[in-house]
Structure formats: structure tokens, C-alpha cells
Amino acid sequence: MSGKRNQRGVGLTDDMKQLSQKLAPTQPLPSRVASILSQEISSGRLKPGDRLPTEHQIAESLGISRNVVREAIAQLRADGLVRARQGAGAFVMEPEERLAIRLDPTDLENIEGMEGLFELRALLEGEAARLATMRRTDDDLAEISAALEDMRGDEKWSEGSIEADLVFHRAIAKATGNSYIHTFVCFICDQIRRSIHMARYANQIEQLVEVNVGEHVVILDALKAGDPEAARAAMVHHITEAGRRIGVILRNEQNNSQQGIAAS
């Protein structure tokens, strides 16, 4: 049944419906509505402090039930994007009030986005390697070593190998003893991994695995030797090279100018 004829767009513009179709035809309805509203906010058409259209208006204007609209708004509320006050309405919150970081997947589909993310990753993981060198426990070291073994072990470069690669990086982040650093590093690595999977992945890597493994060995050696700056430099170098292998080129102002990198 459908009285879902929405002649009059009450609160929302028409281009949204086109967007809703374009974004993801197969995503659940509430998520699509949430994307529409969130785009209205990030695009500036809805500024902080503004009140959203009422749930009734949104529902009628999109030809959907108020229930769906409420689920969509629940998602925005969880991100601190809007605050709903009973009886008053839903209001866009200040950017400083956001309590979640969510990366737009479309930003990662082009090279520039990946470059930015790789740079951030190099910063974070470089520092993580430095801290880990000073704070690691023996258990941490064992975990890191085991991951390295898995990398060059049985599976060789296949699916399991790239998983072991991630375990290696995560283990180092965990060895800093700082759960926030661990959380952020894991998040960024996963974002990158998924983007690579989506895009090209597994094109011509083949023999480069040995190079890749070699870079990890340098990191681990520096960690064992207890040389924080060397560990940091090795990690930055590795991530820079890993990016270059898939076409991401970082601006090489990267600090390694000072010293340390020649170490081994």
C-alpha cells in the first residue's frame, strides 16, 4: 500500500531524494535518511543551532514513516550531531560537541584522501613505535615477534599474511600501554585496509613481500635494541614505502632528516 505520494516537499529539498538513491540503493532505509540529514549538516545548509524539520515533516516529505525518521535521528544523536529536546525539536549541535569520529568512505576513494590518511598513520605509528620501545613488556615483544613470524610463515603473502601484518602494527600500538593510541592506530589501519581491499589490492605485489617483511624486521630489531628513535624512523620509513607501493606518495619533509634512519 502507499499513500506515499509526496507532492509538497515540506522541509527538505528535492536534490536529497536523488542523493538518497545515489548513495546506496541497498542500504537500510534509516541509514539512508541519516546520510541525507548528516549531509545537510556537513554541507552547511543546516548550521549549528538550527532546528531540524519536525519528524512529521521529514517523514511526509520523504514519503516514509515517522519511525524510520526517528531511527535516522537516533544515529545522528549518537554521534553528537544533533540534540533532540522533547517538545522543542531536534537541533544541530556545535562541532565541538561531536563525540564520535567517522570518516567519510568517499574521501578515501581518491589518492589525496589516502595520502592524508597515510601521513597521519605515519605520524601516529612512528610515535607509537618510539613509545613502545621504551615501555614494552616481554609479552608485548613476544606478540610482535609472533606476528612477524606469521607474516613470512606458511601462508606467504596471501590473505593471512596481510592479516598478520596488521597484527604486527596493532601489537606495537598496544605495547605503548596507552589504550587511546591503540584505539586510534587500529581504527586508521582498518580504514586503510578496507579502502585498499575495495580498490585495487593484490595487483603486482608478489615478490615485494620480502621487502615488506624486511622493513618489519628493521622495526623489530630497533625495538629489541631499545633505540626509540631508530624504531620511530624505521616505522615511518616502512609506512612511507608501503604507501608508495600502492601509489600513495607522502611529502618527504618527513622528519627523518635528523639522524637515526641510517641506523640498523
Partner DNA sequence: ATGATTATATTTGTCCTACAACCCTACAAC
Partner DNA sequence: GTTGTAGGGTTGTAGGACAAATATAATCAT
Q: Is position 49 an interface residue for DNA (rule: CB under 7 A)?
A: no
Residue 63 contacts DNA per CB under 7 A: yes
CA 76 vs CA 37, 79, 81, 118: distances in Å: 8, 5, 5, 28
Q: Is 169 in the site for its own copies (CB under 8 A)?
A: no
By rule CB under 8 A, what count of residues binds its own copies?
53
* Region from 82-90, 166-174, 175-183, 200-208 binding DNA, contact rule CB under 7 A: 82-90
Site string for DNA, 119-158 (x = CB under 7 A): ----------------------------------------
- Taking CB under 7 A as the criterion, the residue among 13, 15, 21, 28 binding DNA is 28
Residue 100 contact among its own copies, DNA, none, beta carbon within 5 to 8 Å by kind? its own copies
Binding mask 136-155 for its own copies (x = CB under 8 A): --------------------
Radius of gyration for the alpha carbons in the chain, expressed in angstroms and rounded: 23
CA distances (Å), 149 to each of 142, 153, 174, in order?
10, 6, 18
The answer to whether 127 contacts its own copies (rule: CB under 8 A) is yes
Q: Residue 212 has which C-alpha cell?
A: 615488506
Binding residue for its own copies, selected from 41, 173, 181, 231, defined by CB under 8 A: 181
Interacting span for its own copies (CB under 8 A) from 138-146, 177-185, 204-212, 241-249? 177-185
Closer CB to its own copies, 44 or 206, in the complex: 44
Residue 34 found at the interface with DNA (CB under 7 A): no
Q: Which helix (H) or strand (E) holds 44?
A: none
Query: Does 116 contact its own copies by CB under 8 A?
Result: yes
* Gap between the Cα atoms of 229 and 105, Å rounded: 33
Does position 123 bind its own copies by CB under 8 A? yes
Indicate whether 75 belongs to the interface with its own copies (CB under 8 A): yes
Q: Which of 19, 22, 5 is nearest to 62 (CA)?
A: 5
Q: Which is nearer to its own copies, 15 or 112 (CB)?
A: 112
**To the nearest whole angstrom, how small is the minimum distance from the Cβ of residue 163 to DNA?**
24
| DSSP-assigned letters across all residues of 227-262 | -HHHHHHHHHHHHHHHHHHTT----TT-STTSSSTT
Write the DSSP assignment of 48-81 as a string of letters: TTPBPPPHHHHHHHHT--HHHHHHHHHHHHHTTS
The alpha carbon of 107 is separated from its chain's Cα centroid by a whole number of angstroms, namely 10
- The reply to whether 17 sits near DNA by the rule CB under 7 A is no
Contact 263, 227 (CB under 8 A): yes
Q: What is the maximal distance between C-alpha atoms in the chain?
A: 72
What dihedral angle (degrees, nearest 10) is formed by the CA atoms of 161, 115, 240, 224? -70
Interface residues with DNA (CB under 7 A) are 3-4, 28-30, 52, 54-56, 63-68, 70-71, 73, 84-90
